[in-house]
Chain A
Amino acid sequence: MRDSKPILLLEDDTVDAMTVKRALKDLKITNPLVRTANGEEALAYLNDENNARPCVILLDLNMPKMNGIEFLRVAKADEKLKRIPAIVLTTSKDDQDRVQTFQLNVAGFIVKPVDYMKFVDAMKIVNLYWTLSELPNSDQETSNAKLETDNACRG
């Protein structure tokens, strides 16, 4: 990745999460991996100001409590979170999932290859692309966000 911030993974399946971790290690990607098991946990992580903001979010869709699409609805409506690129990483080939997540402005939709070597290749391309691409400074307020904060302060 272009910066050294953590990668946030939303994945309820522990084995799948370990596979992601292993692939990142095999590719010598040094960004820390923060794993949360569902959308609710991910939001709790993101909303805690003591935690480092991730450079990208990799998200599964089918998860208990709060699934990927429900998570995207919240994150993409939040001025402080919407700028973080979210990439779907799923086994779902459902057309509706694809259309719905792109409507919610995901920055990629990757169907996980079952074969480990192919999965590593996929993660390699994800890493290449998000190393080439610039990433937004997570701390800088936009003029809009700043305006809202100013208004809120004024009460």
Chain B
Amino acid sequence: MRSSKPIMLVEDDNVDAMTVKRALKDLQVTNPLIHQVNGEDALTYLQNSNGNKPCVILLDLNMPKMNGIEFLKVVKANPELRQIPVVVLTTSKDERDKVETFQLSVAGYIVKPADYKKFVDAIKTLNLYWSLSELPGSAA
């Protein structure tokens, strides 16, 4: 990533979260990973993390308590949070999920490949793109 700020992962499945962590490590991406298990926990973190907001948010869709779309609705309506790029990382290929999340201005929608090597390639591309792109935070 272009900045050294944390990457936030919102993912209820612990095995999936470990896979993301492992892929970032294999790619030598050094940003810390903040893992939250649903939208509610992620919002609580964001609202209390004054100086340590993430550079990007990787978001699963199907989660208990507050799912990805409910989370996006809150984040994108909040002037303090809406500028953080949110990338969907899901197994859902549902056309409605794609349309609805892009309507909520996500900055990418990645269907997780089941194969680990392909998953690493996907995270590699994601990291390349968000290293090329500037990020909103000051002195990113």
Hey, which bits of chain A sit against chain B, CB under 8 A? Answer: 76, 79, 82-85, 87, 93, 95, 98-99, 102-103, 105-111, 122, 125-126, 128-129, 132-137, 140, 142, 144-145
Q: Quote the shortest CB–CB distance from A154 to chain B (angstroms).
A: 23
Contact check, B136 vs A83: say whether CB atoms are below 8 A apart. no
A145 vs B100: C-alpha distance in the bound complex, in angstroms? 11
Which one, A82, A122, A140, contacts B132 given CB within 8 A?
Answer: A122
Which one, A87, A109, A133, contacts B110 given CB within 8 A?
Answer: A133
**Interface check B51, CB cutoff 8 A:** no
Q: Can you list 19 residue pairs at the A/B interface with Cβ under 8 Å?
A: A83-B103, A99-B83, A102-B83, A103-B79, A103-B82, A107-B85, A107-B106, A107-B107, A108-B132, A128-B129, A132-B110, A134-B98, A134-B109, A135-B102, A136-B103, A137-B95, A137-B98, A140-B95, A142-B103
**Would A128 and B111 be within 8 Å (CB), given that A122-B132, A134-B98 are in contact?**
no
Contact check, A128 vs B125: say whether CB atoms are below 8 A apart. yes
Q: How many contacts A-B (CB < 8 Å)?
A: 101
A102 vs B3: C-alpha distance in the bound complex, in angstroms? 15
Q: Quote the shortest CB–CB distance from B121 to chain A (angstroms).
A: 8
